[in-house]
Structure 1
Amino acid sequence: MTVDQYAWWRQALELAGGYRELTHDQLLQLGPSADSPESGFFRNRPFKDAPLVPVAIWRDASGTIFCLQNDKEAEADKVWNYACRNPITEALYHSVLAGGAWPDEPPSVAKEHNLPPNTGDLHKDLASELAAEKETVERFLKKPIETQEQADQAGVWAKRLAGIAKKADEQFTVEKRPWLDGGNAVDEKWRDVRTESSGLAKKLKKHGEAWLQEQDRLEQERQRKAREEAARIQREAEAAAQRAADAARGAEEEKARREADTSPGIASLFAQESEQEAKRLEAEKEADRLAQQAADAQREALARPVFAGRTGAKVSLHTYWVAKITDYDALVLALKNDPEVRDAVEKVAGRLARNKDATLPAGMERVPDKRAA
């Protein structure tokens, strides 16, 4: 019997949806093969902050493992720790090798804007990069996000803009340190690069928030329906199990009756016993089928992650606890000894809401507020 060396990869690819990164729970679902290289097509980051490159792993007839990373020989064990979480299709593997882009990769502004090479002046280089990014991002922000690929691009793009902001912040700090007395000049120099890159990164995340919220709503609805279907199938399975038990009892009773009956109609009794036995077998088969179907339905009801981007550039809905004032007078009365007064009540309530361990006073409650982050 021929063993399909690509079975693990195919299952991982189905869970990943073609190129998306597998979650920890999905890796556990795939089983122990996630601990050793499996044959298939993946993508890997050779070192921190390095571009993603395509990876192919396969075995020959003798079981020897071969690995190509970006079309160059590599050690499968060294790439597997990251690559195992990132299965891709064979078509995408060949597309990227041929110069194509990853589906979740934002446009390359360096190519589009013909950016000059590094000048050695970090401020000029980052300012040029930001100017190119800003123009492209603003076009992207004019249209709503409608696909998973666009949401992924927004997440990775936000990471790229946040990277510019981080470099600007780091260099800003370095340059300002010896200029504490003349810091205003440095503030003016770096303000636009820092704030605009950070602001664009936040806008990109906010831009994807409505899409993520809709995906979250759809996922909650899917889970609700799946739970209802699982409950329905479970009831059918229990009913089938009861029918199987009844059939088994009927078969035993018919057998006992035949053995106790010495009348000439023995052939007829034997036929009745056979019919009861057939009913028992059919009932047990139906019960087993429904039991398996119920188990499958329970797995279908499990939550699936909703996010955009990838590791290091992932955007998902985070739950933020905010205050919802239900009885203003009661709340003010409960806070009457607080040094802050009416205009500060909302602020105090918000602080209490964010502390999930805080005991809430009368007149308010803690409610979730999901935002892109």
Structure 2
Amino acid sequence: MTADQYAWWRQALKLAGGYRELTHDQLLLLGPSADSPESGFFRNRPFKDAPLVPVAIWRDGSGTIFCLQNDKEAEADKVWNYACRNPITEALYHSVLAGEAWPDEPPSVSKDHNLPAKTGDLHKDLTVELAAEKETAEAFLKKPITTQEQADQTGIWSKKLAVIANKATEQFNVEKRPWIDGGNAVDDKWRDLRTESAGLVKKLKKHGEAWLQEQDRLEQERQRLARAEADRIRREAEAAQQRAADAARAAEEEKARLHAGPGIASMFAQESLQEAERLETENAAKRLAQQANDAEREAQARPVFAGRTGAKMSLRTTYVARIVDYEKALLALKDHPEMKALVSQLANRAVKAELELDGVEKVEQKNAA
């Protein structure tokens, strides 16, 4: 036995800063002594996810090793694998034994919230636990971190809440699995019927699309010619109406002239002839106006479709962008949120691929993980 059996522990404690876990490199600096129990004060986790407990190891004058874990006898060899990385001060050892909390542990919620006993219902138990943790954590989050202990609490608290999240996720998957399996079975049963029938629908409509497009082209041409004919007839009708108006005015003027002179019989004969001409002109104008209306109705669009009521197939008008100037389009869209997000995504890919881009710089970023 060496003169100072606590020399290794003191060196480890110095590297650990009082209670923090030693890294692999720090253990290597301490030398091969880390392979077997050394005298000192440590903390250990008896099993996975178990609370940390204080550990004391020492040797008597004959070199016999003694070990206390949470103030109970334990085998030093069994606790050493974890304890060796976690040296603590003697004062902290006695403090925790007396009931105080570890300095890097988040505040205990069991005392403040008087949590009820476990019910065996994982959902209810985790809900109660999370509610208590959330209340305490939200109070903690209102103040900035100013000490190493508070920073350590943040990491350990995150782990503690991650355990709740993992348990909830595991049970969620267990309970949802039958529903997922049932849904998958329904998907498998109906997949071919759904996809093949829908696929044939698309193929048939695509197959008839060219014919419908040609009919639409013919209809557009028919409408163009019909509009031109309607315009021609409308012009003729307007001219005929003008002639009828001129004839009516000329008849009135001639009537006035005849009444001013002799020859009543001759006057009536001429008036009858003029009236007949006027009526014929008006009727011709009305016929042309009706023809113009008919021609305009003929120029109206007619639906182009295939099939029948309830089973029609027709063309659907949609609009798509056709870029005629790529650089101008990029410039016009440069402030669009989706464009900015896309450029940022592509720039990040380029940085990860060690590519250089104009206007992009590689910036180091460190995030809590």
TM-score grouping bracket, smaller chain normalisation: 0.5 to 0.7
Tell me by how many angstroms 1:362 deviates: 4.0
| Pairing 1:364–2:353 present | no
Q: Residue 63 of structure 1 aligns to a residue in which SS?
A: coil
* Ranges in structure 1 where 5+ consecutive residues have no aligned partner: 184-328, 334-339
Deviation (angstroms), 1:364: 2.4
Q: Which residue of 2 aligns with 1:62?
A: 62
What CA distance in whole angstroms lies between the structure 2 residues aligned with 1:174 and 1:133? 25
TM-score, normalized by length of structure 1?
Answer: 0.55
1:83 corresponds to: 83
The one-letter code of the counterpart of 1:112 is D
Deviation at 1:36, TM superposition (A): 1.2
**Partner residue of 1:344?**
342
Distance in 2 between residues matched to 1:177 and 1:155, nearest whole Å: 32
Which residue identity does 1:8 align to in structure 2?
W
- The aligned residue for residue 43 of structure 2 is 43
Structural mapping, 1:273-284, within 5 Å = none
Q: TM-score when scaled to structure 2?
A: 0.56
| Residues 171, 61 of structure 1: alpha-carbon distance in 2 compared, 3 angstrom cutoff | same
| Aligned-partner Cα distance in 2 for 1:178–1:47 | 32
Give the aligned residue type for 1:13: L
- What pairs with 1:155-194 in structure 2 (closer than 5 Å)? 155-180=155-180
Contact 2:40 2:56 survives alignment (8 Å): yes
The answer for unaligned runs of 5 or more in structure 2 is 184-326, 332-337
- Could you say what the CA RMSD is over the residues aligned between the two structures, in angstroms? 2.4
Cα distance, 1:177–1:14 mapped onto 2, change above 3 Å = same
Partners of 1:73 and 1:29 lie apart in 2 by: 30
CA shift for structure 1 position 181: 9.3
Change (3 A) 1:121 1:343: closer
Corresponding residue for residue 125 of structure 1: 125
Work out the CA distance in 2 between the residues paired with 1:181 and 1:41: 52
Alignment partners' CA distance in 1, 2:36 and 2:340: 62
| Structure-1 residue corresponding to 2:290 | none
Cα displacement string for residues 182-233 of structure 1 (whole angstroms, at most 9, x for unaligned residues): 99xxxxxxxxxxxxxxxxxxxxxxxxxxxxxxxxxxxxxxxxxxxxxxxxxx
- Structure 1 position 360, deviation (Å): 3.0
**Which secondary structure does the structure 2 equivalent of 1:87 belong to?**
coil
Counterpart residue type for residue 344 of structure 1 = L
Deviation, structure 1 residue 81: 1.0
Q: Does 1:102 align with 2:102?
A: yes
Q: Shift of the alpha carbon at 1:346? A: 1.4
Cα 1:56–1:141 change in 2 (3 A) is same
Work out the CA distance in 2 between the residues paired with 1:182 and 1:111: 44
Which residue of structure 1 aligns with residue 114 of structure 2? Answer: 114
**For 1:213-268, what per-residue CA distance to the aligned partner results, in whole angstroms no more than 9, with x for missing partners?**
xxxxxxxxxxxxxxxxxxxxxxxxxxxxxxxxxxxxxxxxxxxxxxxxxxxxxxxx
Task: Name the aligned partner's letter for residue 369 of structure 1.
Answer: Q
- How far apart are 1:2 and its partner, in Å? 6.8
CA distance in 2, matches of 1:358, 1:17: 38
Give the direction of change, closer, same or farther, for the CA distance of 1:341–1:155 in structure 2 (3 Å limit).
Answer: closer
Look up the SS of the partner of 2:362 in the other structure.
Answer: strand
Aligned to 1:306: none
Between Structure 1 and Structure 2, whose CA radius of gyration is higher?
A: 2
Distance, in Å, in 2 between the alignment partners of 1:80 and 1:22 is 13
Q: What residue in structure 2 maps to residue 134 of structure 1?
A: 134
**Secondary structure at 1:67 match in 2:** strand
Work out the CA distance in 1 between the residues paired with 2:340 and 2:105: 49
Partner-residue secondary structure (3-state), 1:369: coil
Q: CA deviation at 1:154?
A: 1.0
**Matched letter for residue 360 of structure 1:** E
The alpha carbon displacement at 1:361 in A equals 3.6
Aligned to 2:147: 147
Question: 1:35 offset after TM fit, Å?
Answer: 1.1
Number of the residue aligned with 2:3: 3
For the 8 Å contact 2:350–2:357, the answer to whether it is kept is no
